[in-house]
Amino acid sequence: MPQTTDSSALPALPPDPDRTRSPGRGLVPVLAFAGIVVAVMQTLLVPVIKDLPELLSTTPSNATWVMTSTLLAGAVSTPIMGRLGDLYGKRRMLLSSLAVMVVGSLTAGFTSDLLVMITGRALQGFAMGAIPLGIGLMRDALPREKLGSAMALMSSSIGVGGGLALPAAALIAQHLDWHALFFSSAVLGVISILLTLRVVPESPLRAPGRFDLPGALGLSAGLVLLLLPVTKGSDWGWGAPLTLGLFGAAVAVLLGWGVMELRVKAPLVDLRTSARREVLLTNLASVMVGVAFYAVSLVLPQLLQLPASTGYGLGQSMVVAGLCVAPLGLTMMLMAPVYGRLSSTYGPKVTLILGMLIIAIGYGAGIGMMTAVWHTVVISVVLGAGIGLAYSSLPALIIGAVDPSETGAANGLNTLMRSIGTSVSSAVIGMVLARTATQVGPVAVPTLHGFRLSFLIATGAVMGGLVFAAFLPSRRKTAAARGAAVRNTVATTGEATSVEVTRFEGPGCPGFRGRVLDAAGLPVARAKITLIDRRGRQAGATLSDEAGRYALAVPAGGAYVLAATAPGHAPLARAATSLTPEDSVEMDLRLPMGVPMGVPDAAAAPRANAT
């Protein structure tokens, strides 16, 4: 039981730099801008994709590797960069991703050789890991009340960048040399690097362990073997020996990789965490949302640019087609603050379901709305609103289910699931449009039936995502589960479930403060202290300094649990009460030595506490 103490007798504790200081106002827009710049790479060449065989002096099948290489590199780099960010610093890895993207842009900008172009495009795709890194930086730097809308904006940046890039890239390609597309992206990348250096602080949180190189190589091999036949199956033939052989090899490699990851102490992807109900269902829903997102990008530009002589084409230029689809990205960006309000009231599960319902309505209505240019604008706006809500909900659901030290890797895996969804969408809808095409002279032209069938497939995918979302645990059940985890830790360590804390007057840091000590009364440096509210949600986190001191602000008065963990010590959880956010509550946390009976893995206990 702590003793009543006059605050003037205690050394003043500095505010916790991770939670109590206000991050720069530019943090959120700078990180969102980085996400938009990275997303631009996905649609950069869409306006000239049909001309690539001629521009690169190659066959159409070879030219598709220019797009496929970006997809494969992005899929491989996303979970790897997320894990590297958790281990060595998210800002450092974000800057590395952007730098590689700039090198790739310059490589592609100075060549018309196919192999060099594929190399440059692969380097551009490597930057896709910036999205989960940005989300992780936001979680570590922002207060809870600002985090929801900020993550929503970052998560939506992939759609915003894609939507805005279409008209801009079309304008550049129409009036300048096509290599200017790459130089423009290089300039955007340099601007993003400079802004990140100036505005974004490094996160102090680090995950324990080393980088799992064998796991990274195994996952990379498995993803390449899986995505190659997905993206090239329509060219090679879905029943071709090469396609089936690659699918079989992908299954074998990924199964072997999974077995290996389960035996590694610090895996690249924690499969046990990924198998949790809320994480697994969120990732499965992400695949379906990815399928739905990409379908509109494949259908509407073609419908708009087909000549009116076909009887259903809308006969618009490349630039006008891009402008008609641009509201998709703009609406996604505008939904970020709306998501923040809805999620704070109803929770991310409800916003995910609402977003997917809006997507289903948009595609369902779009099946019959393909006869006028304004129809495409309405479809873009409705789908942008739904996709914006759905994409914004996904990182919030993931973050609510994993430890802060796993944020980068977990969101990287979630982003990968979305990328797999877009890859599947590209392959399936591309096959549908090719199979339903009609021959007009030497050219195969997509039909209105093919467009409508594509929208129907997207509707079915999002309805499947709704089924997964419906089985996600509710906010109340999730909170109860987390509270049970904390109570279990308290019972295991033998600590009391409540202690008397003393409210005192005088100068000091509002909230909880004190020292983390070991069993001998010596200070414990870099111990992790997590503040958990009465609903079982994380309300703050910090690390103790070299003298063992910590300070944590509280968002509101009420009952909390302080959970403390440190290597070589058993975890500790203590209940505490703060009457108002202005109170200063002194509480020293004394960690037992070693691992108590009943806790088989000391590294597992912090995961149970921190969420």
Give yes or no for residue 431 having a pLDDT over 60: yes
Choose from 222-236, 245-259, 500-514, 570-584 the range with maximum mean pLDDT: 245-259
Q: In 10 A of CB 605, how many CB atoms?
A: 25
**Is 307's pLDDT higher than 50?**
yes
Domain ranges of the chain: 7-16+479-610, 27-200+269-473
| Residue count of the chain | 611
pLDDT tens for 538-551 read: 788 888 887 888 88
What is the predicted pLDDT for the residue at 135?
A: 83
In the prediction, which pLDDT does 20 show? 37
**CA pair distance 247, 5, nearest whole angstrom:** 67
User: Please, are residues 539 and 555 in contact by the beta-carbon 8 Å criterion?
Assistant: yes
Determine the average pLDDT of the residues in 51-78: 83
pLDDT of residue 228: 86
Candidates 404, 343, 407; CA nearest to 532 is 404
Per-residue pLDDT, 359: 94
Of 190 and 571, the structure prediction assigns the larger pLDDT to 190
For residues 207 and 89, give the distance between their C-alpha atoms in angstroms, rounded to a whole number.
9
Q: Does 188 score more than 90 pLDDT? A: yes
| Number of helices (H), then strands (E), in the chain | 21, 11
At residue 147's C-alpha, the angle toward residues 144 and 150, to 5°, is 165
Residue 144's pLDDT is 67
CA distance 99 to 32: 17
Q: Is the pLDDT of residue 107 over 50?
A: yes
Q: How many CB atoms lie within 10 A of CB 530?
A: 23
Over residues 275-302, the pLDDT tens digits come to 888 889 999 999 999 888 878 878 888 8
| Residues in a beta bridge with 517 | 523, 590
pLDDT tens readout for residues 466-513: 999 999 887 555 444 444 444 443 343 333 333 333 333 333 456 788
Give whole-number Cα distances, 397 to 19, 129, 280, 463, 476, in Å.
21, 19, 11, 19, 14
Nearest to 164 by CA among 327, 301, 46: 327
Mean pLDDT, to the nearest integer, of 157-161?
73
pLDDT tens across 321-348, in order? 888 888 888 888 888 788 878 887 888 8
Instruction: Report the pLDDT value the prediction gives residue 592, as an integer from 0 to 100.
Output: 78
- What average pLDDT does the segment 133-148 reach? 79
DSSP for 219-279, please give it: HHHHHHHHHHHHHHHHHH-TTSHHHHHHHHHHHHHHHHHHHHHHH-SS-SS-HHHHTSHHH
Q: Can you give the pLDDT at residue 543?
A: 87
Is the dihedral angle over the CA atoms 191, 407, 89, 118 positive or is it negative?
negative
Q: Which residue has the higher pLDDT, 292 or 399?
A: 292
**pLDDT the model gives residue 593:** 65
Average pLDDT over residues 335-362: 88
Beta bridge partners of 529: 542, 564
Closest CA to 290 of 468, 98, 100: 468
Report long-range pairs for 473-477 (Cβ below 8 Å, ≥24 apart): 473/277, 473/278, 473/349, 474/347, 474/349, 475/347, 475/349, 475/535, 476/535
Task: State how beta strands 528-533 and 538-543 pair.
Answer: antiparallel
Would you say residue 129 has pLDDT above 70?
A: yes
Residue 538 has φ and ψ, to the nearest 5°, of: -70, 125
pLDDT the model gives residue 19? 39
Q: What proportions of the chain, in percent to the nearest 5, are helix, strand and coil?
A: 65, 10, 25
- State yes or no: pLDDT of 138 exceeds 90: no
pLDDT band at 578 (very low <50, low <70, confident <90, very high): low
Query: How do beta strands 511-517 and 589-590 pair?
Result: parallel
Best CA proximity match to 492, nearest among 602, 330, 331, 355: 602
Percentage of the residues of the chain whose pLDDT score is greater than 90: 23
Is 10 within 8 Å of 586 (Cβ atoms)?
yes
Mean pLDDT, residues 44-55: 80
User: 7-16+479-610 maps to which CATH number?
Assistant: 2.60.40.1120
* pLDDT band per the 50, 70, 90 thresholds, residue 535: low
**Per-residue pLDDT at 454 exceeds 60:** yes
Please report the pLDDT score of residue 45 as a whole number.
83
Report residue 528: phi and psi, to 5°. -95, 125
Q: Are the CB atoms for 553 and 581 separated by under 8 Å?
A: yes
**Cα(563)–Cα(565) distance, rounded to whole angstroms?**
7
Angle 404-343-206 (CA atoms, 0-180°, nearest 5)? 10
The predicted pLDDT at position 485 comes to 43
Q: For strand 443-445 and strand 438-440, is the pairing parallel, antiparallel, or unpaired?
A: antiparallel
Which one, of 365, 381, 385, lies nearest residue 326 by Cα? 381
- 232 versus 286: which is more confidently predicted? 286
Measured at the CA of 253, the angle between CA 251 and CA 257, to 5 degrees, comes to 115
Tell me which of 86-90, 100-104, 362-366 is least confident: 86-90
Q: The tokens of 228 are what?
A: 């190659």
Model confidence, pTM: 0.68
Q: DSSP string spanning 573-586?
A: EEEEEESSTT-EEE
**Which comes out higher in pLDDT, residue 298 or 453?**
453
* pLDDT above 90 for 407: no
Specify burial of residue 441 (Cβ count, 10 A radius: 0-12, 13-18, 19+).
exposed
- Enumerate the β-bridge partners of residue 572: 564
Q: What is the largest CA-CA distance in the chain?
A: 90
DSSP assignment letter at 544:
-
* Structural contact between residues 481 and 473, judged by C-beta atoms closer than 8 angstroms: yes
Mean pLDDT of the chain: 79
Give me the pLDDT at residue 262, please: 87
CA 544 to centroid of chain Cα atoms: 29
User: Which strand (E) or helix (H) includes residue 431?
Assistant: helix 407-435
CATH architecture, domain defined by 27-200+269-473 = Up-down Bundle (1.20)
Question: What pLDDT is stored for residue 582 in this prediction?
Answer: 59
111, 109, 132: which is closest to 38 by C-alpha?
132
Looking at residue 403, its pLDDT comes to 67
**Is the model more confident about 351 or about 332?**
351
